[in-house]
A and B are shown apart, each in its own frame.
Chain A
């Protein structure tokens, strides 16, 4: 099996895995980064969202061989102290219920605000549409994205 050198959260990490292994399972099974969640496995729910060169990507459907030198950021690396404006807004607005989808929601929201720091409700809805929250915490997720957008 090839050994992949990956740039994850600012560090070079090595993974000795088959080429078709999705990034999700490299993170979770090989690199002890279980913050990125497994949901549907077919890029429909967004629980596995990470950043690839700052863009939100579904890691469950991204083969490790396609990543090459791209910079990957996971929820564990979004901020050093858990104080990214999106994370702070999530706490302030008390967003999580079960919490399982929230890493993916946060990563999608952070990527949105990086590209578009002051999105409209419609733009938030479009960007967040791929992230399912089965608990239905959507009202607070939307409010938290708006709140973070005032502090970014």
Chain B
């Protein structure tokens, strides 16, 4: 039986009875007209009709659907926590399910540290509206005033008499009621779940090896495939001899489309072996570039004012400021390409049928993937389903949907359901890299050591705008010029965790340290002085929150005992990225003549912390990621081919190499501002500044491990 509720006059929450006798709540906080909840056959997955929902079964089980892809940021635990908090649910009775891709959700993606800030109020209202009607239902049953009732731990309680009814008992009656759009929300001081440490809802499945990931998806009759893509950027297929591969045992077909040769078979090992038998000739199809070419190109773009630079921000008169400066400091910073290389290789299942397309797999942007498949195969989006599996990491790689489109295209050609899998070697040549970038900074100090002029030119390979022109110290410097030049290359890039700032923050925060030293000032005080100036006499627009930045700086200095330790060298860094603020202090000691990174303190202002366990884990992981990639990460190119092919020569940080991390959070009572990325950008600068303190040597190039201070 299907139950449909029609649109009501006011922006009311709609409730529909589940066929199981439970309560289903859907809501849409964008529209004034409320869309109807449609419940078909009791199968909730097929009936998701709004931007989020929860159901309550008559046995009291609460199911909360988590719409956003889970890749380790712990969204599948933190989202339901927010709903459960306002609902006054018994957390032990909450079931969490990953939602399918559904138009009724908004922003069903994982990226930009934006999911929690975006959904915070929506999730709270989801819980609060349900609680409201459950209380109403209980009051009606008892024939008492609803204001004499309250909800707690999955029950509605009548305060004067102590009578109580469970949510499951009330679910059916509550389904006939509506709640006002401006339903009251809890006061922060009454939060019981939000801000506490709650274990990942998926722990049990992960530790017992349940098939949660895209690569774990198998279906009878499904083919498997791997695709040989060009071995170098700037090349295309000239000829394909697939005879030997086709004749290899277990191979169903070998298909060439665009620059791809797909080997399709009935087992992974069969296709891996057959793929090696392909004989493909490639020919030139564009610039074939090597890293040494990029070095020259980037140097030229820095050195020569060739009219290509875009002015990103200009305050005052930089020329005059530098002409009249008492001291000028200049430095260059550079980073290589990086690959995302999440642990779960790229993969996607696609089944192109006569009546529509079925897609299953890991994606950070399922809606964009579906849109791209729709355009490619000319099939309307409403004929395409996409089931989001757990992602074995993303780091931005799965914001691209090339691997989804490719799977769908192949399925359309071979007319079979197929799971396309990548190897690490495929990924390292696979066309999504953190761009290689170079920065040149200049600073002008006056006779008192004040920063009066600041210049930054960023140049990058397919980096777009390699600067973040409005970030600190913009707004604190009277004369400032920030420019960018992009070089367009066949080597395609993509968003890599904390795009641009993952390296820019290191460069800016290390350069500010250099300037502070040249000015004879303490690096922490130097930053605070600049922020004080920005507060009192702002120059141009200020697009960061000065008070939040000051607070994390001061707290990090306090927690780390900044300036009070004699046995360790400390380095400081602070960065605003996405919507959050993180300050870090790194501690280095010398061991056998080399700097050893021992500890990193991190003070984060991400607004309200939802899950303390998850938040701490995000900060620690982001620091390990930021530190590991600053130390070891490098993709270089020779004749259009990446020189690193797998983990044997693309180095990922390992357990013995991690420093201790001590995370702290600022409790400032504001709404959440996101934490998936913001703890990563400051790490490189804190480390490099501490190493300078310990050794007197500046690290200006990544990876650090190739620099002299680490050599024997």
Contact = CB atoms under 8 A, between A and B. Distances in A.
Question: Which 8 pairs of residues, A with B, have the shortest CB-CB distance?
Answer: A35-B209, A136-B624, A100-B392, A98-B72, A75-B209, A97-B72, A99-B206, A44-B647
Nearest to B624: A136
A129 B269 CA distance: 27
A82 B208 contact: yes
Contact of A91 (B199, B344, B395, B622): B199
B52 interface: no
A132 B654 contact: yes
A29 B269 contact: yes
B206 A102 contact: yes
B197 interface: yes
A18 B207 contact: no
Contacts of B421: 38
Contacts of B394: 98
Given A94-B617, A98-B71, A87 B207 contact: yes
A128 interface: yes
A103 interface: yes
B617 A42 contact: no
B218 interface: yes
Contacts of A59: none
A12 to B, nearest CB: 20
B207 A90 contact: yes
Contact of A135 (B211, B390, B393): B393
Interface string A20-63: 11100100111011111111111011010000000000000000
Interface string B200-214: 101110111111110
A138 B199 contact: no
B269 A35 contact: no
A106 B208 CA distance: 10
Interface in A81-140: 82, 87, 90-92, 94-103, 106, 124-126, 128-140
Contact of B341 (A34, A76, A134): A134
Contacts of A42: 424, 646-648
Interface residues of A, number: 61
B520 interface: no
A39 B427 CA distance: 12
Contacts of A101: 343, 392
B653 interface: yes
A141 interface: yes
Given A35-B209, A103-B209, A135-B72, A98 B392 contact: yes
B343 A136 contact: no
A127 B207 CA distance: 19
A93 B202 CA distance: 13
Given A25-B269, A125-B655, A45 B343 contact: yes
B534 to A, nearest CB: 33
Contacts of A28: 268
Contacts of B210: 35
Given A40-B424, A44-B646, A133 B343 contact: yes
Nearest to A64: B269
A94 B203 contact: yes
B85 interface: no
Nearest to B268: A25
B661 interface: yes
B624 A96 contact: no
